[in-house]
Amino acid sequence: MRIVALGGIGEIGRNMTVFEFDGKLLIVDCGVLFPEEHQPGINVILPDFSYIRDRLDDVVAVVLTHGHEDHIGGVPYLLKERADIPLVGSRLTLAFIEAKLKEHRITPKTIQVKEGDRRTMGGFDLEFVAVNHSIPDSLAVAIRTAAGMVLHTGDFKMDQFPLDRRITDLAGFARLGAEGVDLFLTDSTNADVPGFTTSEKDLAPAIDAVFRTAPRRIIVSSFASHIHRIQQIIDTAHRHRRKVAFVGRSMVRNMTIAADLGYLNIPQGLLVDFKKLERSDDHKVVLICTGSQGEPMAALSRMANKDHAIRISEGDTVLLASSLIPGNENAIYGIINALTEIGANVVHKGNAKVHVSGHASAGELAYCYNIVKPRNVMPVHGEWRHLRANSEIAVATGVDPRNVVLAQDGVTVDLVRGRATISGKVEAGLVFVDGDSVGGITEEDLVERRRLAEEGVVTVLAIIDPDNGDLVEVPEFFTKGFSCSDEDLDKAGAAVEKALRDAASNRQGGRRQDPEEIIERATANWMRRFYNRQPVVTAIVVDA
């Protein structure tokens, strides 16, 4: 069996792993990665489907471990290439992906499973195991083939007191371990955090304190899929006799689905439309919205920028009930500063115990290794520091260091006769979604965008005699995001004129150089020499 991660290794997000056996392909998860500051204009980042694009007919199913965007967000783009790939997942996970696909006008073929179910898809015998995470209905999957058994945890932790009382099935892990797990793919996100992850229930006192002391409105920002946290907010609001409203399309959609399916319990009369809350007393109001990661278009970011129907004012309390995803720190602290400037009291993980991770810490991982006793280990879902820490835990619990595979996106791992080894590498680059364009933007384009943002742009309009290539009049300069005096622009014009004369005198065999290139090069060189800047230079040449 061949295992290829097309995303999710060396990064937090874009999770997608392809399993190949006997000519058939099984995909586990297909998520997105959210862009960082150095990727301006990008909506999301997809796994690279190049490896499987010519073999889409061989894909027997996509197994979705849970409903977070970094595990299901790429599914619409995959199904646009082959719409009838079966999606296998739990009830809530499928409900979330079906709602998402509806926006893309795709009706998927779905197969609903639950913990304890066993299904055969192509040559893959799949068994599903309950795991606890920050979203209900999460599943691990055991994949059996004639080449051996792989156990993929998905995202998980071992909270012994979860809000929904659905704990990670350690007995199921032990049973699979006794049968013989040939390769263990384990969540690495918190592998460098000692001990055990704090229980969700331990947040209740801090959240209650926020509600007890807030003098005016409470605005809670969370992931639109974090049902457990939102349930805690709803329960606390009910105790403090505050009305609740959901704000933001994804929040309203997901919470409606969760409530309809029975995963979210909302007391009768508690939930109202946020427009009606404008007429309520401030101390009786709770707004739950998206934007905890500083996303520019999310509700909280727009509130902070005073670009939303809801205006945050002095005395309001803003509760950020999510963790900081690596790479989002600057955006999040920018939101916190903007809200604080308005006069809001911002409560977040840094100053109160209002969030716990959904991932297993080092102690829990060690516990799982001792239960499963895998022959081979392949850490997944994490940056390099997480992967390395996870591999060290595996070795400390007795796994042979030679049987720990530290792979990266695109690396092929072959499981043969109970031994997992790296066998090669395939293309697994970043695929950027830019508006309605998928894959059209390259890293070179992003370099150009960063230059535009950081250095500005200079446009040179030159009128040239087509017969001899001379300037008919002084070139005109138009600048955006770049400051330059008129006197200096005259000097830049002289540099352009000299460059054109030199090019004409150096012309060989009657071959004429492109005047646009000459002007752009001369202008860029002058700007770099005298301003120590590198604006994007564009030349427009008009024949006289």
- Binding-site members for Ca(2+) are 41, 434
229 with 222: CB under 8 angstroms?
yes
Closest CA to 208 of 272, 268, 278, 286: 286
Two tokens at 174? 């032990």
Two tokens at 71? 């595990």
d(CA 370, CA 123): 29
DSSP states of 152-190 as a string? E--S-B--SS-TT-----HHHHHHHHHH--SEEEEE-TB
Residue whose token pair is 């508006």: 435
Active-site residue among 228, 308, 348, 359? 359
Q: How many residues does the chain have?
A: 544
66 with 166: CB under 8 angstroms?
no
- Binding-site members are 41, 66, 68, 70-71, 133, 155, 224-226, 355-359, 381, 434
The residue type of 301 is S
Cα maximum dimension of the chain: 88
DSSP states of 6-44 as a string? EESBSBSS--EEEEEETTEEEEE----B---TTSTT--E
Closest CA to 285 of 322, 315, 305, 323: 315
Closest CA to 366 of 398, 319, 404, 339: 398
- Binding-site members for Zn(2+) are 66, 68, 70-71, 133, 155, 381
Active-site residue among 187, 235, 316, 409? 187
Q: Note if 281 is an active site residue.
A: no
Q: Cα dist. 101→61, 73, 108, 359 in Å?
A: 16, 10, 7, 27
Three-state secondary structure readout of 346-396: EECCCCCCCCCCCCCEHHHHHHHHHHHCCCCEEEECECHHHHHHHHHHHHH
d(CA 18, CA 24): 10
Give the H/E segment covering residue 446.
helix 443-455
Phi, psi (deg, nearest 5) at residue 31: -110, -175
**Radius of gyration from C-alpha coordinates of the chain:** 28
106 with 87: CB under 8 angstroms?
no
Q: Note if 359 is an active site residue.
A: yes
64 with 152: CB under 8 angstroms?
no
Two tokens at 374? 């895998």
The sheet carrying 183-187 orders its strands as 118-121, 124-130, 139-145, 148-152, 183-187, 377-380
223 with 298: CB under 8 angstroms?
no
d(CA 289, CA 272): 14
215 with 283: CB under 8 angstroms?
yes
The set of catalytic residues is 187, 359
